[in-house]
C-alpha cells in the first residue's frame, strides 16, 4: 500500500458515501498524494472518488497518476468521463494521456473534447516522437510589450490557474513573435510603473519545435532556466519546455542508452516492463540476436580452420573460453565507459588518438592481471595427462598468456574506438553495443590465439 495512513480513511468515506467530506479531504491534499491513495484502490473505486471532485482538481490528480494507473483508469472509464478529465488537464499531460489510449478509445474520446483542447491534442500528436514539439507545453503565459510591471502582474493573475508556470512571461508582438522574456521575480522586484519592455531580457535562448529533445534539455539545464521557449520557423512562440521535463528527458535518454548497451532496441514509449507484451519485448531483442548469431558463424569457421591443431593439442580447446571471455569483459568495460563519456559530451571524435592511447595504457596494466591468472592456471594447474606428447607445458602456458595479452589490448582498443567511430559516421555510439563488441573481439581473439599457438608450438593446422 502506497499510503497506509490515508487509504483506509478514503475507503471508509467512500463506503459511507460521505461525498462532501471526501471532496474536502481530497481538496486539502497535494494532487500527487491523492493519486497515490487512489493507486491503492481498485479502478472502479478510483472513478467513484474522482466523480464528485471539482473538474480541475480531478484533472490534476489524473495527471499525477502512474502510467499503469492511468491505463487502468482509461479501461474503466467511459469515453465521456475520459473527455471530462482531459478537458481540464494541462496540454502536455493531456497529450501524453491521449497517446497511451488504445486507438479505438482515442477515436471515441477525441470528438467529445472541447474544440480548443481537441485541436491542441491533434497538433501535439502530429509532432515527431523525440522532438521538443512532442514534449512541449502549449499553456504558457504571454503578454504584450506595452504593459507596466503591475499591469503585467494583473494579467498573470487572470491567467495563472490554467498555465503550467507563470514564473516566466513571454513578451510577444501581434504575430506571437517573441520580443523578450520577463520573470515573475523581475516583475515583483521592479517598481510597479516600470514598462515591461524596460525589464524584459531580450537575449533570448529558444529552441525550435522540430529539434531533438535531448539537445533542448541540455540547454535548459546548462542555463539553469525554469522554462525554455519553443518557436516555429517564423520565430513565433508555440510552447515552452519546462524544468520538470528535463529530468524526464534525461531519464528517458539514459534508459535508451542502457537498452542499446544491452543490445536491446529502445521502446517507443517508456512502457513499464511488466505492461509490455512478450512479442513487443521479442521485437526489441530479436534484431541483434539474429545479427549476432550470424556473426558467431565466423568463430566456428576460425576454429574449424584450426581443427588439426586442436586435434594434436586438445588442451588448446580448454582455453578458448578464457580468451573469448577476457576480450568480452575488457571490451565491455571500454565501450560502456566511452559510450557514456560521449553521451555526456566529455569526449568527441577528435579525441580518438588520446582515447586510443589511454585505452591501450589502461589495458596494459589490466593485462598484468589477466595474463598472470591465465599463466598460473595453465602452468600450475594442468594435469600431466593433459599435456600433449612432445610439447612442453611451459610453452603452452606462454602461448595462452601471450594470446590473453594480445586479446586484452585489442579488446580495449576496439571497445574504446568503435563508439567513437559510430559517432563519426552519425550512428548513436550506444548502438555499437557491448554484445556487438564482444562478438567482434571473440573472432579476433580466436584468430590471435590459434595463430600464436600454431606458430609457437609448431602444430599443423
Q: Are 450 and 302 in contact (CB under 8 A)?
A: yes
Question: In terms of CB distance, is 108 or 276 closer to its own copies?
Answer: 276
Whole-number Å distance between alpha carbons of 279 and 429: 26
* C-alpha grid cell, residue 338: 566511452
Whole-number Å distance between alpha carbons of 370 and 367: 5
- For residue 201, the SS3 value is strand
Q: Minimal CA–CA distance to 176: which of 216, 202, 143, 209?
A: 143
What's the min distance (Å) between Cβ of 450 and its own copies?
Answer: 11
Residue 127's CB: how many other CB atoms inside 10 A? 17
* Interacting residue with its own copies among 126, 175, 365, 460 (CB under 8 A): 365
What's the min distance (Å) between Cβ of 351 and its own copies?
Answer: 6
Residues of span 368-397 touching its own copies by CB under 8 A = 369-370, 373-374, 377, 381, 383, 386
Tell me: does residue 239 bind its own copies (CB under 8 A).
no
Tell me: does residue 54 bind its own copies (CB under 8 A).
no
* Interacting residue with its own copies among 37, 322, 405, 459 (CB under 8 A): 322
* Interacting residue with its own copies among 206, 341, 410, 444 (CB under 8 A): 341
Q: Are 445 and 407 in contact (CB under 8 A)?
A: yes
Question: In terms of CB distance, is 62 or 113 closer to its own copies?
Answer: 62
* Interacting residue with its own copies among 344, 389, 425, 460 (CB under 8 A): 344
Instruction: Give 214-247 as a DSSP string.
Output: HHHHHHHHHTT-SEEEEE-TTSBEEEEEEHHHHH
Tell me: does residue 27 bind its own copies (CB under 8 A).
no
* Interacting residue with its own copies among 307, 392, 394, 458 (CB under 8 A): 307
Tell me: does residue 282 bind its own copies (CB under 8 A).
yes
Question: In terms of CB distance, is 70 or 336 closer to its own copies?
Answer: 336
Residues of span 156-195 touching its own copies by CB under 8 A = 156-157, 160, 166-167, 184-185, 188-189
What's the min distance (Å) between Cβ of 430 and its own copies?
Answer: 9
Whole-number Å distance between alpha carbons of 65 and 100: 13
Tell me: does residue 268 bind its own copies (CB under 8 A).
no
Instruction: Give 325-381 as a DSSP string.
Output: HHHHHHHHHHHHHHHHHHHTTS--GGGHHHHHHHHHHHHHHHHHHHHHHHHHHHHHS
* Interacting residue with its own copies among 104, 304, 350, 390 (CB under 8 A): 304
What's the min distance (Å) between Cβ of 362 and its own copies?
Answer: 5
Amino acid at each position: 500500500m502506497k499510503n497506509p495512513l490515508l487509504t483506509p480513511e478514503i475507503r471508509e468515506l467512500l463506503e459511507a458515501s460521505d461525498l462532501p467530506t471526501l471532496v474536502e479531504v481530497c481538496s486539502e491534499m497535494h494532487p500527487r498524494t491523492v493519486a497515490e491513495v487512489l493507486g491503492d484502490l481498485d479502478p472502479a473505486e478510483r472513478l467513484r472518488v474522482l466523480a464528485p471532485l471539482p473538474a480541475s482538481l480531478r484533472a490534476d490528480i489524473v495527471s499525477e497518476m502512474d502510467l499503469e494507473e492511468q491505463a487502468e483508469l482509461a479501461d474503466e472509464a467511459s469515453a465521456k468521463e475520459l473527455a471530462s478529465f482531459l478537458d481540464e488537464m494541462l496540454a502536455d499531460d493531456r497529450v501524453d494521456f491521449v497517446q497511451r489510449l488504445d486507438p479505438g478509445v482515442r477515436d471515441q474520446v477525441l470528438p467529445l473534447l472541447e474544440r480548443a483542447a481537441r485541436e491542441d491534442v491533434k497538433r501535439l500528436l502530429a509532432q515527431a516522437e523525440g522532438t521538443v514539439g512532442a514534449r512541449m507545453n502549449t499553456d504558457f503565459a504571454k503578454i504584450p510589450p506595452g504593459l507596466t510591471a503591475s499591469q503585467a502582474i494583473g494579467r498573470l493573475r487572470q491567467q495563472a490557474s490554467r498555465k503550467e508556470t507563470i514564473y516566466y512571461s513571454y513578451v510577444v508582438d501581434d504575430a506571437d513573435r517573441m520580443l523578450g522574456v520577463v520573470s515573475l521575480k523581475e516583475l515583483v522586484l521592479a517598481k510597479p510603473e516600470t514598462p515591461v519592455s524596460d525589464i524584459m531580457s531580450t537575449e533570448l535562448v529558444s529552441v525550435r519545435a522540430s529539434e531533438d529533445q535531448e539537445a533542448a534539455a541540455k540547454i535548459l539545464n546548462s542555463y539553469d532556466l525554469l522554462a525554455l521557449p519553443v518557436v516555429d520557423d517564423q520565430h513565433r512562440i508555440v510552447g515552452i519546455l519546462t524544468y520538470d521535463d528535463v529530468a524526464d528527458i534525461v531519464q528517458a535518454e539514459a534508459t535508451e542508452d542502457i537498452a542499446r548497451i544491452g543490445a536491446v532496441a529502445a521502446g517507443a514509449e517508456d512502457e513499464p516492463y511488466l505492461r509490455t507484451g512478450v512479442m513487443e519485448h521479442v521485437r526489441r531483442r530479436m534484431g541483434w540476436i539474429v545479427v549476432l548469431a550470424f556473426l558467431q558463424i565466423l568463430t566456428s569457421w576460425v576454429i574449424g580452420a584450426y581443427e588439426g591443431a586442436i586435434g594434436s593439442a586438445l588442451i588448446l580447446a580448454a582455453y578458448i573460453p578464457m580468451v573469448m571471455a577476457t576480450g568480452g569483459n575488457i571490451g565491455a568495460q571500454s565501450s560502456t565507459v566511452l559510450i557514456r563519456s560521449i553521451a555526456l559530451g566529455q569526449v568527441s571524435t577528435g579525441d580518438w588518438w588520446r582515447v586510443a592511447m589511454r585505452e591501450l595504457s589502461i589495458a596494459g596494466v589490466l593485462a598484468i592481471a589477466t595474463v598472470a591468472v591465465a599463466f598460473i592456471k595453465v602452468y600450475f594447474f594442468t594435469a600431466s595427462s593433459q599435456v600433449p606428447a612432445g610439447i612442453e607445458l611451459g610453452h603452452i602456458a606462454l602461448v595462452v598468456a601471450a594470446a590473453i595479452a594480445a586479446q586484452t589490448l585489442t579488446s580495449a582498443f576496439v571497445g574504446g574506438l568503435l563508439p567513437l567511430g559510430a559517432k563519426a559516421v552519425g550512428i548513436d555510439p550506444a548502438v555499437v553495443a557491448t554484445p556487438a563488441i564482444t562478438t567482434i573481439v571473440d573472432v579476433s581473439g580466436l584468430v590471435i590465439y590459434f595463430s600464436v599457438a600454431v606458430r609457437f608450438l609448431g602444430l599443423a593446422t
